[in-house]
Amino acid sequence: MQHEHELVQIFKLLGHPIRLTIVKLLSDADHMTVGAIVDAVELPQPTVSQQLAKLKAGNIVDAERAGTNVKYSLSNPIVKQIVKDIK
């Protein structure tokens, strides 16, 4: 039952078009900064940051500080497989 609950939470998070786009971008890169994601999705930085915070809270992405930048990467193997399968 725990696995099903985890999948439901993942699909809820991936059900938002901006979050799905961000996850797909991160699946193609080892990591990306917020600025790079903003440039790729062409949305305001606060919007992207808000969606990244939700993905981080859902244990889908990891954030690593590198100087003044924060690098985001996919951390959940289930999400990596889902994205690979939908491409």
- Residue 71 Ramachandran class (φ > 0 left, ψ -120 to 50 alpha, else beta): beta
- pTM, two decimal places: 0.90
Give the structural domain span for 82.
2-86
- Which CA distances in Å does 82 have to 10, 11, 68? 10, 10, 31
Could you give the residue ranges of the DSSP H alpha helices within 58-87?
Answer: 77-86
Q: State the total domains in the chain.
A: 1
Q: What is the mean pLDDT of the chain?
A: 92
CATH code of the domain in which 80 resides:
1.10.10.10
Question: What confidence score (pLDDT) does residue 79 get?
Answer: 92
Question: What confidence score (pLDDT) does residue 5 get?
Answer: 87
Average of per-residue pLDDT across 55-61: 95
Question: What confidence score (pLDDT) does residue 1 get?
Answer: 67
Structure token pair of residue 12:
């809820």
Laid out side by side, the sheet with 61-66 consists of 32-33, 69-74, 61-66
